[in-house]
Amino acid sequence: MRGKMTPLLEVKNLVKYFPVHRGFFKRSREYIHAVDDITFSLNRSETLGLVGESGCGKSTAGRTILSLIEPTGGRVFFQGRNVFELGNREKNHLRRHMQMIFQDPFGSLNPRLTVERIVEEPLITHRMGATCERRRKVQETLKIVGLLPEHMKRFPHEFSGGQRQRIMIARALILGPSLIIGDEPVSALDVSVQAQILNLMVRLQRQFGFSYVIISHDLGVIRYISHRVAVMYLGEIVELAKTDELYKNPLHPYTIALLSAVPIPDPRRHKQRIILQGDVPSPLNPPSGCRFHPRCPYRLDICDTKKPVTHDRGMGHAVSCHYYAEGETRRLPSIPPATGDERQCG
């Protein structure tokens, strides 16, 4: 059913570069390639996980999609309208339907405002409802996220990390959005609290039917909450598939290496850990050809110079790697297990 519906969100060839000025007169200009030509779509009531190491561009992608930062290129269609072509007024109107939950529930809430004012603020900004209606709406929304009416008059410092994230969720929820982008929404929380917040997010999606883009470096969080997963490396999406398919049958060498690092909670089972060599290259000067080639244990000659094209291997499982070029049926060769030293390093 999902595949036949018009997507809620379509991101097409999105690019975001940040200029860096160097030299005495700051004349020399280089660019950080934060997001480089990413394309994906998101259906209604669907969750897409964006996963990758720190600095791979996933948070920049989220902020650019919401127009919180200006794009360098590409298009973002939300409910069929190109967000980047809208005027300020239309963009503001659209923002009611596109909300964000930030990583840090401690730093994201204004310490001088009561919870009531924090959660009410989006209604005031969009001039929605009279004072008494807004208060009732705040009360209802706090209840939905598991907070009490008496919490309304308290300040953020009086709450635990999990409660603060509930306040953030209530603030995102109060306008009735169709899309919520969560930027590492649980990474600042204890593991036990993470599970509560993730369960709450799943329940709210079932109740209200909105869509999520969840940005995280945590493969466990992404697996739990996402219907589909996009793996990012150095500003590019290298693999995209349904969650079960991606975790059972990863194709891209980077995805395989990431998943090989996830511990299995069974001491009788051993997994071959793949240790990637070297650091993530600088996004100021990304490698030619396949950006992963300096670290790829499967590297071919062509990988140094030619950028791989993304191919759909069936059932929406897309991968960007020369091993899977169109018409190719070869499979990745097995890699020798990591040495003892490498295991310690990893």
User: Could you tell me the smallest distance in angstroms from the CB atom of residue 48 to ligand SF4?
Assistant: 22
User: Could you tell me the smallest distance in angstroms from the CB atom of residue 282 to ligand SF4?
Assistant: 18
| 323 near ligand SF4, judged by CB under 6 A | yes
Q: Which residues contact 229 (CB under 8 A, 6 or more apart)?
A: 48, 49, 51, 222, 223, 240, 241, 242, 243, 246
Q: Choose one: 92-100, 138-146, 159-167, 300-308; the region binding ligand SF4 (CB under 6 A).
A: 300-308
Sheet strand arrangement including 228-233: 98-101, 179-183, 211-216, 47-51, 228-233, 236-242, 318-320, 310-312
| 307 near ligand SF4, judged by CB under 6 A | no
The interface with ligand SF4 within residues 198-237 (CB under 6 A) comprises none
Q: Which residues contact 16 (CB under 8 A, 6 or more apart)?
A: 34, 35, 57, 60, 61, 64, 69, 71, 72
| 303 near ligand SF4, judged by CB under 6 A | yes
Whether the CB-CB separation of 208 and 201 falls below 8 Å is answered with no
| 299 near ligand SF4, judged by CB under 6 A | yes
Q: Choose one: 12-20, 224-232, 309-317, 320-328; the region binding ligand SF4 (CB under 6 A).
A: 320-328
Q: Choose one: 13-21, 91-99, 224-232, 298-306; the region binding ligand SF4 (CB under 6 A).
A: 298-306
Whether the CB-CB separation of 200 and 145 falls below 8 Å is answered with yes
**Given the complex with ligand SF4, which of 102 and 292 has the nearer CB atom?**
292
User: Could you tell me the smallest distance in angstroms from the CB atom of residue 280 to ligand SF4?
Assistant: 14
Among 86, 300, 335, 338, binds ligand SF4 (CB under 6 A): 300
**Given the complex with ligand SF4, which of 162 and 308 has the nearer CB atom?**
308
| 78 near ligand SF4, judged by CB under 6 A | no
Among 298, 310, 311, 335, binds ligand SF4 (CB under 6 A): 298
The interface with ligand SF4 within residues 233-292 (CB under 6 A) comprises 252-253, 290, 292
**Given the complex with ligand SF4, which of 36 and 183 has the nearer CB atom?**
36
Q: Choose one: 35-43, 149-157, 159-167, 293-301; the region binding ligand SF4 (CB under 6 A).
A: 293-301
Total residues at interface with ligand SF4 (CB under 6 A): 14
User: Could you tell me the smallest distance in angstroms from the CB atom of residue 47 to ligand SF4?
Assistant: 26
User: Could you tell me the smallest distance in angstroms from the CB atom of residue 178 to ligand SF4?
Assistant: 35
Q: Choose one: 18-26, 40-48, 181-189, 319-327; the region binding ligand SF4 (CB under 6 A).
A: 319-327
User: Could you tell me the smallest distance in angstroms from the CB atom of residue 34 to ligand SF4?
Assistant: 20
Q: Which residues contact 33 (CB under 8 A, 6 or more apart)?
A: 17, 234, 235, 283, 284, 286
Q: Which residues lie near ligand SF4 (CB under 6 A)?
A: 252-253, 290, 292-293, 296, 298-300, 303, 308, 321-323
